[in-house]
A and B are shown apart, each in its own frame.
Chain A
C-alpha cells in the first residue's frame, strides 16, 4: 500500500466559527492506481491533494505514507519524504520564466543533490522521452500551453517519483492538448507510476481507475 488517510479533518476558524475544509476523509491508495478526485469548486479537492502532497498540514487524523506516519514526522523529514517520492503537476504549469526548458528540468535534481553529470544524463533522458530535445534551450514563454505542461510533467517525473499529484493538469489547455496530456498520464500509469489527479471534467476522470467525489470537504 502506498498511502493511507484515516479520519482526516482540516478546518479554519473564521469569525468564531469552525469551517471544515476536509471532514473525516478515509482513503487508501495502492501502488499503480490512477485516481481522479472530482467535485464542485470549493469542495476541498485541491486541499486534499495538498494534504496528500504534504504541502499542507491537517488538524486531526492519521496519514501513513509508505509505512511512515506523516502526522508524527518533523517538517524536515516530511520535506525529504515528498522530495523523494512525490512529483507535482500544476494547472498553470508553474515553470520558472527565467530558466530554459532544460534548466527547469534540472532544478529539482539540484535540490536533491544529484551530481552534475548525473543531472545531465537524467535531463537528456527526459527530454528524449518526451521528444522535446529541440526545445531544450527555449524559455517557457516561447512554448504553447500544451508544451509547457509537457515540460511540467517531465519535471515532475524526472526524479522517478512513486506518486504524481496533478491539480487540474488540463485546466488551461484546449481539448486536443488536454487529451494528449491525459494519454500521457495513462501511459505513465501503465508504466507503474501512481497518479492522483484533481479534475472538473468527467471525460478526464474516466482515464482513472477510481473516482473520488468530494462535496463540502466530505467524500461521497
Chain B
C-alpha cells in the first residue's frame, strides 16, 4: 500500500518537475541555513556542558566605575583567592587561573635545534585546586610530581603534539621547556601530559605551571588584571548571593586599608560579582582578551533568521500547492468517486510533502557546505558542517516532519473540500477556493515583508559602514602605511632608540612623502588619565583626557589643522601639550587662543598648552570625540606612520625599500605593515560580519520569495489562460495583458513595503542608536528597497506574463 502511494507520489513529482524543483530548492535553502544556525547556536550553548557541577560553579568578576562609566573586568585581584580561602566557608573549590604571557617559548628538541614559539597563549599558573576541580585524564605523569616541583609544567595533549610532534606522552616526561618573559627566563621540566577537556570549554589553558604561594603586598589587592581568573565551586547548601557579599566585604576592607595607608584620594568604585559559569560565555559586557564570547542577542537574531527563512520556504510550498489544486481537481474528483476518504487524501498529500522535504534535505547536504563557506568569518572556529551525521539525520527528520505538517496540512485540507460533482460537470473556469487565493496573497505579502525588512536593513547597515569608514574623520588617512615595532623589542636594550635613525633613513626614500612616529589618530589602543586645570580662586576642573604620544611631523603628516598656537617642539620627555577643540571646551576655556599657556595635567605634573588642533576621531564611531592631548616622549614612540606619495604604481617598490631599511635595524621576521585605511576598516569587523549575515539573509529571502512568486505566476498564468484568451479576442493588447498580470504582484509588494518599512525603521534605529556618529534613516532608502523589490518581482513574473500574453487565444478557447 505504502509502496503504491510512494510510486504515485514520485510520478506526480516527476510530472510536475518545475514545481518540484522550485519547492525542493526553496526548502533546501531553508533547511541548510537552519542547520548551519543550529550548529552555531548549539555550539555556543554547549560550553562546559559536560561539567557535572556546572550550576554550582561561579566566576569572580570585578566591576568598576571610572568617570561615571560602569566597566567590568573578567579578572579578580591576585591575592583575593587567598583571602577567600582564609575567610569564607561553604566553598568546595577556590580555583585561581592566572594566565602568564611570555615573549617566546623554546622547546628542547632532541633532534637538532630547539623549536621556538613566539607569543604563546594559554599558559596558566594554577595550584592544587585546579586539578581537583576539573577532572583531567592523565596520559603520563602525576598530579603530585607536578605540584612537588616548582619548575614543572603539565601540557595538554594538543600542546604536547605541537611541542613534541610524533612523540608519545611517556617520551615527553622530564623534557625541558624554556620560557622567556620580559623579566626573566625559566626552564621547566614536563611533569605530565593530560587529555584535552571536552570542547568547547571556557577552561582554555594548555600549559600549566605551579602557582607559588606569595604573600602579596597590600597594593596588589587593588590591581585587577583580566588575565587573572578566579572560579568558585560552591557547596550545594551555599547561597551565592551571600558568598558574593562576603567576598565583596574582603575587597572593600582591603581597599580601605590601602587608601588609609597610601593616602590616595583617587576616586573610584570597585565591587565583586559572582557570574554563574553558564552565563560567562555570554557575558559580552565583560572585557576579556583570551576568551571568545557569544552575544545572546546575536544568537537570538540568528535563530530568528533561521525561523523566518524556513517559514518563507514553507510558505512557498503552501502557495504553490494551493495554486496547484485547481489543476488537480480532476484527479481528486476521480479518487473521491472511487472511494478515497479524507484521511487518505490528506495522507497522500502529506506524503508528497514529506518526500519533497527529504529530497530537499539531501540537496541541503551540498548547500550547507556553501553556506559554511559564505559565513566562514562568522562561524566560530571549531564548528564543522557535519560533525555527526546521525545528528544531521535526526535534525532532518524533525524538520521534515515539522515542515510536512506546517506546509502540507492546509493544502491537504483544501484538497478534501473539492466538490466532486462540480468538478465533473463544470466546463467554465474554476473559481473554487477564492478564499485560498486571498490566503496566498497574504502569504506572499508576508514573504515580501521579510524580504523588504532585510533589504532595507542591508542598505542601512551598508550605508552606516560606509559612513564609518569613508567619511571625514578630521585627519587624512589616505596613502598612510603603519609599521609597528613589535612590543617584545621595545624594552630590549639591543633595540633601544633604533626607531629614530630608521625614521631619518625612511624620510630619504623618494616614494615617501612624510614619516612620523606616534600612535595613529584613530586606533584601538588608547590611554587616558584624569587631567586637572585649576584657576586661582576656583575649584579645580578634572577631566579624563586621552593621551597621544607623537613626534613633531605627526600633525603635518595627518593634515591636522593647528587652530591656535603652534605644533609641539622636539623633546625627550613631555614638556608641553597640544590639545584638541573638545579639550578646550571641556576645561572651560573661552576660546582656542584662551587655552594657550594654561597649565593642565595630573597632580604635580602640570605642563603648558602650546597649541590647539582640530577635533578628529580617536576611536570608532560608537564613541564620541573626547578631550585629547598630544605630547612628545621619545620612549613612547614605537609606531611608524609613513605617508606615501600619491603615485600608487610606485607603492610596491617603496614598500620593499622600507622593508630593506627595516632589516638593517630590526630582525626580518618583525616587519609587517598595514595600510591605515584598511586597518580602520578592520575595526568594524563585527559590523562587517553583521552586514555579511544580513546580506545573505537578504539574498536568500529574496531568492526564496522569488521562487514562490515565480511558481505562483506560472500557475496563475495557467489558471488564467482562458481569461487571457477571451480578453485578447475582445481586443486586449499584449502590453495590456502583461500589465494586467503584473499589476497584482506590484500591489502586493507595495502593501508589503507599507508593513516592512516601520519594522525595518524600528530595528535599524535601535541598531544605529549605539553609534555616536550615525547616518540619518532617510525615506528614499525605503523607496529604493521598494523599487528593488518591485523590479525583482517584475523580472520574476514578467517572463510568465509575456508568455501568457503572446499565446494564441485560439488554443486556449478551444472547446473540448
Binding site for B on A (CB under 8 A): 46, 50, 53, 55-56, 79, 83, 88, 90-98, 107-108, 111-112, 140-141, 155, 167-168, 171-172
B87 an interface residue at 8 Å Cβ cutoff? no
CA distance A110 to B429 in the complex (A): 22
Smallest CB–CB gap between A126 and chain B, Å?
Answer: 14
Smallest CB–CB gap between B813 and chain A, Å?
Answer: 6
Smallest CB–CB gap between A154 and chain B, Å?
Answer: 13
Does B733 lie within 8 Å of A111, measured CB to CB? Answer: yes
B808 an interface residue at 8 Å Cβ cutoff? yes
Does B428 lie within 8 Å of A111, measured CB to CB? Answer: no
Which of A50, A79, A167, A171 is in CB contact (< 8 Å) with B731?
A79
Which of B427, B729, B815 is in CB contact (< 8 Å) with A168?
B815
Smallest CB–CB gap between A85 and chain B, Å?
Answer: 11
CA distance A46 to B811 in the complex (A): 11
Known: A96-B723, A97-B431. A90 touches B815 (CB 8 A): yes
Smallest CB–CB gap between B56 and chain A, Å?
Answer: 69
- As a 0/1 sequence over residues 783 to 811 of chain B, the CB contacts with chain A under 8 angstroms (1 = contact) are 00000000000000000000000001110
Question: Which partner residue on chain B sits nearest A57 by CB separation?
Answer: B808
Question: Which partner residue on chain B sits nearest A156 by CB separation?
Answer: B730
CA distance A92 to B810 in the complex (A): 14
Smallest CB–CB gap between B722 and chain A, Å?
Answer: 7
Does B810 lie within 8 Å of A55, measured CB to CB? Answer: yes
Which of A53, A83, A96, A167 is in CB contact (< 8 Å) with B815?
A167
CA distance A172 to B813 in the complex (A): 15
Chain A residues near B727 (CB-CB < 8 A): 96, 107, 111
Sample 9 A-B pairs with CB under 8 A, ordered by A number: A53-B729, A83-B731, A90-B813, A93-B428, A94-B722, A94-B725, A112-B731, A141-B431, A172-B427
Chain B residues near A96 (CB-CB < 8 A): 429, 723, 726-727
Which of B427, B428, B431, B810 is in CB contact (< 8 Å) with A50?
B810
Chain B residues near A112 (CB-CB < 8 A): 731
Does B428 lie within 8 Å of A140, measured CB to CB? Answer: yes
Ranked nearest first, the 6 interchain pairs of A and B with the lowest CB-CB distance are A111-B731, A83-B731, A108-B730, A91-B815, A94-B726, A55-B810
- Supplied contacts A46-B814, A92-B427, 4 more A-B pairs, CB within 8 Å: A55-B809, A108-B731, A111-B731, A167-B815
CA distance A96 to B431 in the complex (A): 11
Does A155 lie within 8 Å of B730, measured CB to CB? Answer: yes
Within 8 A of A (CB), among B684-738: 722-723, 725-727, 729-733, 736
Does B808 lie within 8 Å of A92, measured CB to CB? Answer: no
Q: How extensive is the interface on chain B, given as a class?
A: 20 to 34
Does A141 lie within 8 Å of B731, measured CB to CB? Answer: no
Chain B residues near A55 (CB-CB < 8 A): 729, 808-810
Question: Which partner residue on chain A sits nearest B434 by CB separation?
Answer: A98
Known: A107-B727, A140-B428, A172-B427. A94 touches B813 (CB 8 A): yes
Smallest CB–CB gap between A82 and chain B, Å?
Answer: 8
Which of B428, B809, B814, B815 is in CB contact (< 8 Å) with A141?
B428
Does A111 lie within 8 Å of B809, measured CB to CB? Answer: no
Within 8 A of A (CB), among B726-775: 726-727, 729-733, 736
Question: Which partner residue on chain A sits nearest B814 by CB separation?
Answer: A46
Counting chain B CB atoms within 10 Å of each CB, which of A83, A96, A172 scores highest?
A96
Smallest CB–CB gap between B706 and chain A, Å?
Answer: 27
CA distance A108 to B733 in the complex (A): 11
CA distance A168 to B813 in the complex (A): 13
Chain B residues near A91 (CB-CB < 8 A): 815
Known: A83-B731, A111-B736, A112-B731. A98 touches B813 (CB 8 A): no
Chain A residues near B810 (CB-CB < 8 A): 50, 55-56
- As a 0/1 sequence over residues 429 to 467 of chain B, the CB contacts with chain A under 8 angstroms (1 = contact) are 101000000000000000000000000000000000000
Smallest CB–CB gap between B434 and chain A, Å?
Answer: 9
Question: Which partner residue on chain B sits nearest A51 by CB separation?
Answer: B810
CA distance A134 to B429 in the complex (A): 24
Smallest CB–CB gap between A148 and chain B, Å?
Answer: 9
Which of B429, B722, B730, B808 is in CB contact (< 8 Å) with A111?
B730
Chain A residues near B429 (CB-CB < 8 A): 96-97
CA distance A198 to B115 in the complex (A): 99
Does B428 lie within 8 Å of A92, measured CB to CB? Answer: yes
Smallest CB–CB gap between A97 and chain B, Å?
Answer: 5
CA distance A98 to B723 in the complex (A): 10
Does B730 lie within 8 Å of A107, measured CB to CB? Answer: yes
Chain B residues near A140 (CB-CB < 8 A): 428
CA distance A83 to B716 in the complex (A): 26
CA distance A94 to B728 in the complex (A): 12
Smallest CB–CB gap between B431 and chain A, Å?
Answer: 5
CA distance A91 to B346 in the complex (A): 37
Chain B residues near A98 (CB-CB < 8 A): 431
Does A56 lie within 8 Å of B815, measured CB to CB? Answer: no
Chain A residues near B813 (CB-CB < 8 A): 90, 94
Smallest CB–CB gap between B277 and chain A, Å?
Answer: 65
CA distance A205 to B479 in the complex (A): 93
Smallest CB–CB gap between A140 and chain B, Å?
Answer: 7
Counting chain A CB atoms within 10 Å of each CB, which of B427, B729, B808 scores highest?
B729
- As a 0/1 sequence over residues 479 to 496 of chain B, the CB contacts with chain A under 8 angstroms (1 = contact) are 000000000000000000
Chain B residues near A92 (CB-CB < 8 A): 427-428, 815
Chain B residues near A167 (CB-CB < 8 A): 815
CA distance A46 to B816 in the complex (A): 12
